[in-house]
Each structure stands twice: as C-alpha cells, then as structure tokens.
Structure 1
C-alpha cells in the first residue's frame, strides 16, 4: 500500500475509534505494513502513577511484564531520550544522543532478546500535559527504510492525539488559551513561578511593590485563578512557562 494511503487510512480509523483497544489495533496494523511488529503508545508518568487518564498501550508481551516488574522504566534509554528531544530517533541514534548507563545498556540487550532488536521512537509533548512517546520495534537486524520511519512518525502522532481524545485531553479551549501579556507582566509571571515574593520581584525588576501587586492581581484575573500555585499551573498549561523558567 502506498505510504500516503496508509497514513490517511490509519487516520480515518483512529479518529473514529471509541476505545484504546481500537486505536492500538489500527496502529499495530499500520505499523506491520511498515515493517514493525511491536508498538508502545505511552505517557511516561503512567509507570510512576498509573491512572485512567494516562495512556499505556503496547504489545510488548513478556518483555512488557519484565519491564514493569523490574522497574526498567526509570532507566529505559528510549523514555529518557524522549524527554530530551522533540524529534523522532532510531535506537541507534539514541545511543549517541544520550549514551545509556550500564543498566540502560542491559535493558537494550534484554529487549533485543525479547524481540525488540531495533526500534524507532517518536517523542510526544503537549504543554501542561504529561509527556510521552510512541515506539516502534522489530526483531529484524535493521529498521525499515527512512521513508517508512517518516510514515511511522505521522501514524504515531495521529494515534497519540486520538488516544488523548479518549483520555480527556486536551483541556477545554477556555482553560488552554493563553491570555495576551505585556513583556513586564510575563517577566513578573516567570519570577513568581520560581517562588519569588512580590517584594523580591519588585527589587529584581526595579518596580514599586504596589506595581508588582497590581501585576499579580491582573495575572490571577486573566487566568481565572486565586493563588500563585494555580497561576503557575495555568501558565504552564497555556505554554507560557517551561521547565527552563521553573528551573533556571
């Protein structure tokens, strides 16, 4: 089947899906057309705090059970690398981008012995939501051609988006829209996010404390929240605050 047709057919099917099982089945079918026989569509947070809103779909079978039982997710090179890049990567590239430690190397070796010898991972990150990834694996010595991997990346994006739909993501439009902020209010928001008090922000920005209090009051009003903690969460959800702002 032509790759464009495969991508379009998969999108049609998963957009009509009403369960995780359907999304997994349609995505696995498309992956097999591309030369992959194992897939995982996951929110990384699921491994630490399993919950109904978090996505965890896979057919890793025995390897999946071992992965959970031994808590390999804390050291898995694919999950760790997916947190550090926005572009899809092969597992060969991954070893260069983010060299695994001894346990990470052991995980890769064990995965290979359980039928995941070569793989391709697509990171997924949406502001304000748990991060995740889609991984495709095969027992073959080599991955499918680059064009097939690009098709897999499109399929992964659609599968994750439709899984998010079934799990209650994204948040409502009203909650996720970012209000327009002046540069000074945005700077004030960033300082407040890392725990600075109004007095400290006034000193840092060279403003009167009353001006900072006005800025903070305006920010709470614009985001529809009552506290600084809620303000930080709302700003992150809207994509105005990233990890570099929270952990400078």
Structure 2
C-alpha cells in the first residue's frame, strides 16, 4: 500500500464526523489531480449521495432525478469495475434529457473522471467517483481494482458507522428478526413472500412487523419503513 493510500485509509478510520471524511477524500482527490469526489449508493431508483460537488449541481441532479440517465451511474451498474470517463464522449448540445444532463454537468465543472463501483447488499450498487473540470485526465494511478475497492469499502463502512452512532434510538430496539422482516417489507415484499423467503410462518412475520411498528410508534408499514431507514437500521 503506497503512502497516500495508507494515509487516506487511516484518516477515514479516524474520522469522527462526515466533514472529516469529506476532507480526507478531497485531499486524496486533489493529490491525484481531481477537483471533486462523489460517493453514491443506488438501490433501484433510490439513491444516497455524499459528495463535494457544487451545491447548485447537487440540487439540479437530485431534483431532475439525473441518476436514472447519468452515463456514469449506468456504466457502473453494468460493468462493476473501475473505469475512466469523459463528458466529451456523451451527446452534446441539444434538447434530449441526456444532452441536457451533459451540458449542465460540464457547466458545473464535472467533465471527466474515474469511477470505482462495488456491489452492495440487496442488489444495491456503491460507487466512488473522482471528477475533474478538464476534458480528459490521466486516470491510470487509480485504475488498480484492488486499491479502488479498498477505498470504496472504507468510505462505505465509515459512513455507516457514523450514521449508526448518531441515530435517534426508538424506545426499544428492534430484534434481529424484526429488522429482517422490516427489511423485506422495504423491498416491497408482502407478508406471504417474506414468510417464504425467511422460512418464518406468515402470522409470525406479521407479529414481528406489528411489534416493530409499536416500538417506533408507527401508524402504518410505510411509515415504519421510512423511520427505520432514517435511523440507519436498513
């Protein structure tokens, strides 16, 4: 492990808040000639992001649901391996959504970069992107797949640990089986489907869901799922 990578891993491990993680990634990005970074986790059409992109671009990206057409996200889901990219290779100037996305990205200094994808649980995809305002940038120092994966997982787990340490606790914690049933409910599985997937009786699955709703003071199952996600339990 080279000195810069070792320093990044150490800084991530020692980070006490998201700002420290952001600082560590920004320093690493700038050392390799990149301007910004973006960590993105996708699960179906839902996304979670942690990045140093300009706030106006973040608002535009999330507001227009650009993750659905973003060529970088699409490629990351398809290839599941580190790759370099450039907006110069995307359609430019025009009325199509993809061309509009490309033009707005370039206008906000997102022009080229490298993306490191990793497969997560329940069909999710995690990806870490280092981006530059240059038309092309030499991505070879970061193309080593082992190094890239190590960075992505370090960021993922540190963010997860921090989220778990700052969540608002319910009046009683959920049991492992309650969490399992709520997790499958969050994936859109009904009681019968969850019973088949877990080997638990359907009535028992419903009991776990009702118990979890009571602990969270949730009136409905969708409210329970939303509260569990907010608390970092799923």
Q: Deviations over 1:57-98 (max 9, x none)?
A: 1121132222123332222222222222321222259x69xx
Match of residue 16 from structure 1: 14
Cα distance in 2 for residues equivalent to 1:218 and 1:57: 33
Match of 1:82 among 76, 83, 89: 76
Larger radius of gyration: 1
Q: Deviations over 1:37-58 (max 9, x none)?
A: 1111122359847xxxxx5211
Cα distance in 2 for residues equivalent to 1:129 and 1:71: 20
Cα distance in 2 for residues equivalent to 1:37 and 1:155: 17
Q: Which has the higher contact order (CA 8 A, sep 6+)?
A: 1
Secondary structure of the residue aligned to 2:79 is coil
The number of aligned residues is 177
* Structure-1-length-normalised TM-score: 0.57
Cα distance in 2 for residues equivalent to 1:218 and 1:154: 32
Relative to 1, partners in 2 of residues 1:145 and 1:67: Cα closer, same or farther, differing over 3 Å?
A: closer
Cα distance in 2 for residues equivalent to 1:45 and 1:217: 19
Match of 1:110 among 104, 108, 111: 104
Cα distance in 1 for residues equivalent to 2:108 and 2:11: 30
The answer on whether the counterparts of 1:46 and 1:56 sit within 8 Å (CA) in structure 2 is: no
Secondary structure of the residue aligned to 1:18 is coil
Match of residue 185 from structure 1: none
- CA RMSD, 1 decimal: 4.0
Cα distance in 2 for residues equivalent to 1:45 and 1:218: 21
Residue 163, structure 1, aligned to residue 152, structure 2: no
Match of residue 142 from structure 2: 148
Match of residue 56 from structure 1: 49
> Where does structure 2 lack aligned partners over 5 or more consecutive residues?
166-174, 177-188, 209-234
Q: Larger % of strand: which?
A: 2
Cα distance in 2 for residues equivalent to 1:13 and 1:141: 30
Cα distance in 1 for residues equivalent to 2:164 and 2:133: 34
The answer on whether the counterparts of 2:83 and 2:143 sit within 8 Å (CA) in structure 1 is: no
> Where does structure 1 lack aligned partners over 5 or more consecutive residues?
50-54, 176-193, 198-215, 231-248
